[in-house]
Amino acid sequence: MSNNTSLWRRIRYGIGARIIIPFLLLTLLVAGIGTFIITSQFTQTVNERYNTQLVDAGRVVSERMVDFEDARLSTLRTIAGTQGVAQGLLDGDTAVIEELVMPVILNDGADAVELLDKDGLEIYGWQRLEDVPLDEIESQSGRDFSSIDDVALVLEGYTDESGDKRVILSETPEGYFLFTLGPVILDGEQVGAAMVGTSLQTMAEELSQYALARVTLYAKDGRVLETTLGSEEETGVLGLPSTSLTYTDIVDALREKPERAQVVATKADSEVPLAQLELMGQIYRLAFGDWRLRGQSFGLYSVAFPINLVASPLNQNRDTFLVIFTVTFLAVLIIGSWTAQRITKPLSALVLTATAVGEGHLDQRTGINRQDEIGQLAASFDLMTARLETRTQQLIKQTSELETILNTITDGVILLDNASNIVVANVAAEQLLTDLSYDFLVAGPIRELLPGSKNYQETNAGQPDEETDTYTQIKQYQIGRRNLMTLATEVMTPAGEHFGTVLVLRDVTREVEAEHLKDAFITSISRELRTPLNAIQVYTDLLLKTGNDQLDGRQLAFVRNIQKGSSQLEHHLDQLIHISEIQAGTVKLDRRQIQFSEVVQAAVDNWHGRFEAKRIDLHLQLPDESPSITADQAQIGWVIESLLSNAHNYTPSGGQVEVQLTKNEHVIHLDVIDSGIGIAKGDQAHLFDRFFRAQNSVNHEMRGVGLGLFIARTVVDMHQGDLQVESELGHGSTFRLTLPLDNP
């Protein structure tokens, strides 16, 4: 029982059985239907060739119809251009016309000719008659053709995209004729019309000879106008006994229904419609075309071939194909079994090796040494396994190194997945989270550290890294008495997909406390210095007011220097106190509606004398309409004067400063443009930081603590505005103050 089960599993799941059994079934299937397929293909090939020949015959018929039209046009032009014909038509002289036209008829072989006067009356008419010699055919005259639409159009001189010639199909006692008619001109005046006709019987017989096929001409309603498929002269060729199948029967069989004729005519523009017809045991295949001349459809035409010859080659070759496929089946069966064994044996070895590698035995190899595709596959698999083993060792080593580095870093490092779950955390991160009384396994608090959290106190809005296409944010927040700074960086895959977030945690409680102590010290010492400074300023002012008669010039200069120095010291102390109040949140803005142009004008007037003393041209440009804003006039005025002071200090003598006030729909812009020393690119990023001063020779000469622009930016931010700078070292600077309008 066990052996039977093992055999069944090998048959059902073994790759050898999966190759051999379908191969055998496929071979049987091919052997069984091979003859039918090839015979069908042969039939299809013969049919395609047959249809192609039929289509070619139809093309010949179509081209030859055009040739008939060209011949009629040539005869028409010859008759209309023959000297004396137009005059004879104008005079109604039948004898003169016959004398001039008959040579043309005999030479060109026309089947019918009609010459009409300008009223459509027949002046001369001639028509070829069957079994009547040409010299015995009598001409006719007197018939009225004016009721025929195309004749009336030609006589009226009508011209369309095909010219002034027309083609009409007319039924006469001698059968159907196809006429081409055109005007006859004498001295630039139309005196009548000429018609040259071809008998459809003659035309069908010649078309049949040119196309080597049976030709049938149809009217638009599907009626048979003329056919060579059943003419009594050709019944012997067709193999049709004239006593058993008459011409009338053939015409009735060829007739098409009007709706069928319309469909065929529609398809003839894009494809060749086909049909089959059986006449006395002989099957004909017909190809249809649209019978069209000078842009006008007159009906259909068809060409026909007998198709009985197609079946004979098929019957003769079927037995031959059967023998060939029987022999081929036996050969394929033997060769296929041997080939399957050649494939399945090495594949089994590959399966065993792959299974061992999958279980972690990376030292396993296939041992297959062949030059074919299976050998190449085995060699590639062995190479892949060797590289995988090497790479695994490298990854183990790198993982150990990274783990060591992470655990020695004093900052906490956490890797979060897209769901904000902790994937990796170093020892410092675990200890820090434990100290903060957070459960390390709960991801909830970690989400508060991610970019976008509403609990963040932003210190630096990070910038995207152009090389790694990631976004880094630095945030700071407070938990109890601890201050924590986080750096969150998005991790992206090489394909640009978001992989997770790396979070770096740093306890900055001591740094924050030191910053607070520093700010408190600056505030305290600033306020304490105000008391002795006030005494210095009071006594200095008293000396200047009362000691002019008792102090010489040198002593007065000393006193004035003391006064100037104390004023500068007072300004610096005011800045320090102001910044401490801003950081403490005790500054309250006295917002009122003010005319901003007046504030700017007052600040410029206040500084005009100092600019003039330094020989700096100061220009003010204000709009015609003064913009209105809601702001603290004192604070905004201080900002403007700070910008003017900055321009005054860093613009050398002989320079220029322009103050331009502009507005748009929503905001106002105040630009302070100087031609001073400019600011280096590296310094511009820190220009609005506390206590920052650019490193240049002018700064060493100018006194200051680096708080003016910082305070100005802070005040502007409190007014929901913006303060920016554009500068180039050695080419001046432009400070732009932007504030929102009251009624934009």
Predicted pLDDT at 239: 38
pLDDT digits (tens, 9 = 90+) for 62-107: 888 888 888 889 998 998 888 988 898 888 888 888 888 889 888 8
Q: What's the mean pLDDT when you consider all of the chain?
A: 75
Predicted pLDDT at 240: 40
Question: Could you say which DSSP state residue 65 is in?
Answer: H
Number of structural domains found in the chain: 6
Structural domain includes residue 9: yes
Instruction: Give the integer Cα–Cα distance in Å for 644 and 180.
Output: 100
End-to-end CA distance of the chain: 95
User: How would you list the strands of the sheet with 112-117, edge to edge?
Assistant: 122-127, 112-117, 189-199, 175-186, 166-172
Predicted pLDDT at 284: 84
For CA atoms 150, 154, 160, 161, give the dihedral sign. Answer: positive
For CA atoms 570, 571, 576, 578, give the dihedral sign. Answer: positive
Q: Would you mind telling me the total number of residues written for the chain in this entry?
A: 744
Structural domain includes residue 320: no
Q: Which residues does residue 160 pair with via DSSP β-bridges, in sequence order?
A: 163
The SS3 of residue 363 is: coil
Structural domain includes residue 114: yes
Percent of the chain with pLDDT over 90: 3
Predicted pLDDT at 196: 93
Residue identified by tokens 């296409």 is 469
202 in the same domain as 60: yes
Instruction: Give the integer Cα–Cα distance in Å for 396 and 402.
Output: 10
Minimum mean pLDDT among 412-426, 461-475, 518-532, 598-612: which range?
461-475
Q: Which residues does residue 285 pair with via DSSP β-bridges, in sequence order?
A: 276, 305
Structural domain includes residue 254: yes
Minimum mean pLDDT among 139-143, 333-337, 452-456: which range?
452-456
Q: Residue 298: which H helix or E strand, with range?
A: strand 296-306
177 in the same domain as 141: yes
711 in the same domain as 564: no
pLDDT band at 694 (very low <50, low <70, confident <90, very high): low
Percent of the chain with pLDDT over 70: 69
Q: Which residues does residue 502 pair with via DSSP β-bridges, in sequence order?
A: 415, 489
Contact partners, residue 602, CB within 8 Å, separation at least 6: 637
Q: Is 39 exposed, middle or buried (0-12, 13-18, 19+ CB in 10 A)?
A: middle
Looking at this protein, which amino acid is placed at residue 434?
T
Structural domain includes residue 404: yes
Instruction: Give the integer Cα–Cα distance in Å for 574 and 275.
Output: 108
Q: The CATH number of the domain where 114 resides is what? A: 3.30.450.20
For CA atoms 415, 418, 420, 422, give the dihedral sign. Answer: negative
Is the model's pLDDT at 469 over the cut of 70?
no
Which pair of tokens denotes residue 84? 């004396």
Predicted pLDDT at 567: 65
DSSP string, 597-626: HHHHHHHHHHHHHHHHHTT-EEEEE--SS-
226 in the same domain as 254: yes
Phi, psi of 441 (to 5 degrees): -85, -10
Contact partners, residue 695, CB within 8 Å, separation at least 6: 683
Structural domain includes residue 680: yes
Residue identified by tokens 């039929």 is 54
Task: Please state at what angle helix 15-81 crosses helix 2-13, rounded to 10 degrees.
Answer: 20
Structural domain includes residue 348: yes
**Pick the residue with more confidence: 672 or 29?**
672
59 in the same domain as 9: no
pLDDT band at 18 (very low <50, low <70, confident <90, very high): low
Pairing mode, if any, of strands 470-479 and 457-460?
antiparallel
Which pair of tokens denotes residue 240? 């049709």
Which range has the top average pLDDT, 136-140, 203-207, 570-574?
203-207
Structural domain of 731: 588-740
**Pick the residue with more confidence: 511 or 612?**
612
Is the model's pLDDT at 563 over the cut of 90?
no
329 in the same domain as 192: no
425 in the same domain as 347: no
Q: Which residues does residue 278 pair with via DSSP β-bridges, in sequence order?
A: 283
559 in the same domain as 434: no
User: How would you list the strands of the sheet with 274-279, edge to edge?
Assistant: 224-227, 214-218, 296-306, 282-293, 274-279
Vertex 113, ends 80 and 136: CA angle to 5°? 125
pTM (two decimals): 0.41
Q: Select from 568, 643, 567 the least CA-distant residue to 599.
A: 643
Instruction: Give the integer Cα–Cα distance in Å for 346 and 373.
Output: 11
602 in the same domain as 731: yes
Predicted pLDDT at 455: 40
Distances (CA, A) of 629 to 626, 635, 660, 713, 743: 10, 13, 17, 18, 8
Q: Which residues does residue 501 pair with via DSSP β-bridges, in sequence order?
A: 416, 490
Instruction: Give the integer Cα–Cα distance in Å for 483 and 477.
Output: 6
Q: Select from 219, 196, 214 the least CA-distant residue to 109.
A: 196
Counting Cα atoms < 13 Å in the Cβ hemisphere of 594 gives 20
Which pair of tokens denotes residue 417? 């997945």
Predicted pLDDT at 538: 67
Check if the beta carbon of residue 113 is closer than 8 Å to that of residue 82.
no
Which pair of tokens denotes residue 724? 């920016």
114 in the same domain as 250: yes
Average pLDDT over residues 711-728: 80
Contact partners, residue 480, CB within 8 Å, separation at least 6: 436
Average pLDDT over residues 400-417: 78
Minimum mean pLDDT among 100-104, 157-161, 267-271: which range?
267-271
The SS3 of residue 133 is: coil
Is the model's pLDDT at 131 over the cut of 70?
yes
Instruction: Give the integer Cα–Cα distance in Å for 304 and 277.
Output: 9
58 in the same domain as 34: no
Is the model's pLDDT at 60 over the cut of 60?
yes
Question: Could you say which DSSP state residue 137 is in?
Answer: P
Contacts for 340-343 with beta carbons within 8 Å, 24 or more apart?
340/16, 340/19, 340/20, 340/23, 341/16, 343/19, 343/374
572 in the same domain as 486: no
Check if the beta carbon of residue 190 is closer than 8 Å to that of residue 155.
yes
Average pLDDT over residues 321-330: 71
Check if the beta carbon of residue 693 is closer than 8 Å to that of residue 666.
no
The SS3 of residue 252 is: helix
Looking at this protein, which amino acid is placed at residue 116?
L
Is the model's pLDDT at 149 over the cut of 50?
yes
Is the model's pLDDT at 202 over the cut of 90?
no
Structural domain includes residue 319: no
Is the model's pLDDT at 721 over the cut of 60?
yes
